[in-house]
């Protein structure tokens, strides 16, 4: 009896990740969410954008390393490319993964300044953010190019955080859904397996403005995105795709999204550089 109990406790401890001292990565697609209405693992991404130094990135990662993070939340941090190696090396958390902020759609060659998928894999970086509105607008990346980069990254084994979202003018013209469907359709045209795609709905007017979408507006759009995906990639796949909300998420407002069934996490910019990032990670628990 005592042996049986200690065996059970050893198994529980192993499942909780504390059993053997090894830091084995959890499978990012593992269905371990505790809320039964929600089979999708909650996801919180931190997009550092073009911010940080060796020192500040070290501090952010140390803060995460020294925090007891929930086991049922997948956390992804995306430092600028020059700090990816540092992030991979310094991260000790088994539920934290590193992401690039961009990658190119060619394997290698004369593409000055581009980031190759092979190089990311070589560094041990499993994720890349593609289609961020800042790259769509400032770098003039169009839907077809983003789709091509998405396909290339997926084909080489990376996971993609695919950003979509409407501008203020598009929202005011009531064409939010047309815009996000067009952005998604470009990827649907070239990618049939969406297992390794996380969609981030980020209304451009909410990014960096302090003016987040209301939880119910976000839920509304997320639901329609999922319904659209069901028509183009099938209901089964659409049910499994995580749809994140992004745009002025912070340590205070994140909890307000907690009962929104189609909000499967957040992509966080500014607040991911601050201690409140941990509050966002904890917002569902």
Q: What is the rounded CA–CA span in Å between residue 7 and residue 37? A: 31
CA angle 232, 188, 160 (to 5 degrees): 125
The smaller minimum CB distance to ligand PGA, of residues 48 and 233, is found at: 48
Q: Is residue 248 involved in binding ligand PGA (CB under 6 A)?
A: yes
Nearest to 278 by CA among 251, 257, 249: 251
Distance of CA 279 to the CA centre of its chain: 16
Q: What is the rounded CA–CA span in Å between residue 265 and residue 118? A: 28
Pick from 164, 221, 238, 267 the residue near ligand PGA by CB under 6 A: 267
CB of 202 to ligand PGA, least distance (A): 5
CB of 34 to ligand PGA, least distance (A): 26
Residue with the shortest CB distance to ligand PGA: 269
Q: Is residue 268 involved in binding ligand PGA (CB under 6 A)?
A: yes
**Candidate ranges 22-30, 99-107, 120-128, 267-275; the one touching ligand PGA (CB under 6 A):** 267-275
14 catalytic residue (yes or no): no
74 catalytic residue (yes or no): no
Structure tokens at 254: 């994140």
- For tokens 């005011």, the residue is 172
Catalytic pick among 74, 134, 202, 222:
202
Q: x-or-dash pattern for ligand PGA, window 39-78, by CB under 6 A?
A: --------x-------------------------------
Q: Is residue 91 involved in binding ligand PGA (CB under 6 A)?
A: no
CB of 269 to ligand PGA, least distance (A): 2
Pick from 100, 162, 187, 249 the residue near ligand PGA by CB under 6 A: 249
Interface with ligand PGA (CB under 6 A), residue total 13
Nearest to 83 by CA among 130, 109, 51: 51
Q: Is residue 263 involved in binding ligand PGA (CB under 6 A)?
A: no
Q: Is residue 269 involved in binding ligand PGA (CB under 6 A)?
A: yes
Q: What is the rounded CA–CA span in Å between residue 124 and residue 152? A: 17
Strand 197-201 and strand 42-47: the pairing is unpaired
Instruction: Decide: 81 and 50 in contact? Cβ < 8 Å.
Output: no
Nearest to 106 by CA among 144, 159, 153, 157: 153
In DSSP terms, which residues pair with 240 in a beta bridge? none
Q: What is the rounded CA–CA span in Å between residue 189 and residue 199? A: 16
Q: Is residue 99 involved in binding ligand PGA (CB under 6 A)?
A: no
**Candidate ranges 149-157, 201-209, 213-221, 257-265; the one touching ligand PGA (CB under 6 A):** 201-209
Residues near ligand PGA (CB under 6 A) are: 47, 202, 207-208, 246-249, 267-271
State the catalytic residues.
132, 202
């Amino acid at each position: 009896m005592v042996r049986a109990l200690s065996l059970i406790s050893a198994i529980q401890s192993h499942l909780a990740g504390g059993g053997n001292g090894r830091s084995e990565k959890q499978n990012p697609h593992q269905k371990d969410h505790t809320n039964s209405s929600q089979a999708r693992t909650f996801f919180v991404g931190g997009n550092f954008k073009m911010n940080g130094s060796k020192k500040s990135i070290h501090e952010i990662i140390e803060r995460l390393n020294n925090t007891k993070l929930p086991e049922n939340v997948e956390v992804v941090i995306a430092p600028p490319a020059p700090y990816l190696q540092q992030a991979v090396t310094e991260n000790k958390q088994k539920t934290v993964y590193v992401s690039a902020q961009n990658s190119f759609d060619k394997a290698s060659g004369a593409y000055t300044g581009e980031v190759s998928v092979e190089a990311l894999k070589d560094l041990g970086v499993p994720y890349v953010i593609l289609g961020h509105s800042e790259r769509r607008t400032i770098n003039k990346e169009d839907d077809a190019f983003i789709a091509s980069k998405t396909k290339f990254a997926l084909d080489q084994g990376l996971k993609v955080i695919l950003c979509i979202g409407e501008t203020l003018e598009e929202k005011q013209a009531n064409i939010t859904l047309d815009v996000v469907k067009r952005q998604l359709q470009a990827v649907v045209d070239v990618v049939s397996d969406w297992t390794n795609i996380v969609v981030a709905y980020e209304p451009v007017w909410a990014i960096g403005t302090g003016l987040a979408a209301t939880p119910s507006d976000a839920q509304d759009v997320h639901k329609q995105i999922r319904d659209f995906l069901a028509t183009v990639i099938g209901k089964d796949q659409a049910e499994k795709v995580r749809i994140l909300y992004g745009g002025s998420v912070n340590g205070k407002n994140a909890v307000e999204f907690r009962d929104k069934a189609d909000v499967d996490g957040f992509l966080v910019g500014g607040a991911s550089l601050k201690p409140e990032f941990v509050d966002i990670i904890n917002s569902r628990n």
